[in-house]
Chains A and B, each alone.
Chain A
Amino acid sequence: MELKRVVVTGLGALTPIGNTVSEYWEGLSTGKSGCGPITKFDAEKFRTRFACELKNFSVEEFIPRQEARKMDPFTQYAIVASDEAIKDAGFDMEAINKNKVGVIWGSGIGGLKTFEDEMIYFGKGDGTPKINPFFIPKMIADSSSGQISIRNGFRGPNYVTVSACSSANNAIIDAFNYIRTGRINICVTGGSEAPVTIASVGGFTAMRAMSERNDDPATASRPYDVNRDGFVVGEGAGALILEEYEHAKARGAKIYAELIGGGFSSDAYHITAPHPEGYGALLSMIDALEDAQIKPEEVDYINTHGTSTPIGDPQELKAILDCFGEHAYKMSISSTKSMTGHLLGGAGAVEAVASILAIQHQFVPPTINCKDLDPAIDQNLDLTLNQGKARKINVALSNGFGFGGHNATVIFRKV
């Protein structure tokens, strides 16, 4: 069966460094940190008291209060980012066949805030379960894709992928597969997370996975720096409109890039620690390159998973060296998590958007906050430290790896 080509015709972003795609790019290209003290709850007694929260975001500007209150924040973010992407794609909503439009979203956790609030309320009671009837539909991870379809009348395949921090990459690849096999014409995809909550921050700090640089939050997310001490949690959403190429061309759509390959693998090693040799990461990138039918030498830019954890960052770079050999030194590499923080299930989405924008602008966003490059890291890699730069980018690759040992890689190419 001949596979169809799949292109990106719309983008949406709601991130700690910008609430729209253009603001996001402004932040990315200028090296802005989205980090600051936690305002969403009293974090005084927490080991980590900072996060990458959204700024100046009021959901009621986008969704009527009565609808918004029946959505967990992670779904609200999904609605806002997908609205932007759908508008950007410029569909004639009367003309497109909505039965052939899917919504495949990614979220690592789902409605954690909703879960916490309801259980805290229960815990304060006498044991009588006075659970709000909207608790379950707000909390479940798939409420995000469900709400997007209800809002827009899209009746194609609809679900949420859950693979921790590779969730959104898995969603994008599933959407890609449905379109290239001709099952649907268009898919709204991406991912969102709202993890600045007590359970999330408390839980990740208990694992010693998060940075505790409370005296200097803005530089806490510092991938590849020798003094990195963990990831910084972030919230928000990224959205992509994937569309079958001929369908997009026929309606004269603006095309950002082509999605040419998706790869995945599992570490089969440990529930949280990455494989010490980066073997799962390597397999994922090889799988994506084979799927894209391109040579490793064709890749110009890698947006790494690069979370700023002591053990995760070097393994991924080792995998890149193993995968690309000498070409690894000719590519540009950066971790935009240094700016956005780690959006968990939404990370792959905002990083896919960053990769596509990098192709569009022919500009590599930087890895900020790296003052002293870790001597354990190959010093000849171009990690785009602290300053973005213009360069030719024909092909961009984006990695996402998640607790559970899930790895997923997507590759975009200039059209």
Chain B
Amino acid sequence: MSTIERQTPPTAAVQTPRARRRAAPPAGLVVASGALLLFATALVAPGLLATHDPYALNLADALHAPSPEYWFGTDEAGRDLYSRVVYGTRESLVIGLGATAVSLTLALVLGALAALGGRFVAGTVNRVIEVLLAFPTLLFALLLVAITGPSALSQVFAVGVGSAPGYARIIRGQILSAKNSGYVEAAVALGHSDGRILRQHIVPNAVRPLVAIIALSVGQSIVWASSLSFLGLGVAPPSPEWGALLDAGRVYITQAWWLTVIPGLVIVALALAATTLGKHIQNTLEKGEK
């Protein structure tokens, strides 16, 4: 996309805006960006979106189906589900983003050691990654929760560490492919120092694809984290965290479908939006490389 801009001569600026406009972005991307914007608003300023106090009890309106007054219905204590979902965004996203940060930091360290370390270090780290990959993500996270005990912090830690090995392997592959590329070979032939090659060639080329991985990983992390809350092993129910909402709503599944279906739908929407954005970034980067 940026190539179009670069090729456009400066005089194009005086032409009609329509002539400068690029091809319209795909509809999926527009929807995804809009959804993410909405989630970002709920994260920063939930008061703008909420219609009720998320903690106000109103027993007269308990288990009210979705209506113009209560958009997503109400729970067993008459609290407005829509406002609770809005206010729960912060906790859910912070847990998801925190887990992503933990997992990518760990993955970056492991991946870099496995790709750039000496024979012994690289071999050992590779084995460690392989061993950790033998544990499916959710089980690894459960094992970590068993050690630390259930809480929001252990959720961040468990999901982060649990999903790190997979990303470590991806990052290792990217660093290796940069390391073995023609331009690094050329730089070595030119007599550039290791530090310069690392800074100028390997880091930029290995880190750029990370942007896409971050987007994909945020969506995944939120799903894993909410799975833990759903199992009762994360944030506890009075909290409006989305997994906790699901866990609390499960009890009323025969009477109030909205208490489980809607928070789940919100999680799926966020995960899909993040994934769509991540895939789009990935595709754009791949096109840019050619």
Q: Say whether A and B bind each other.
A: no
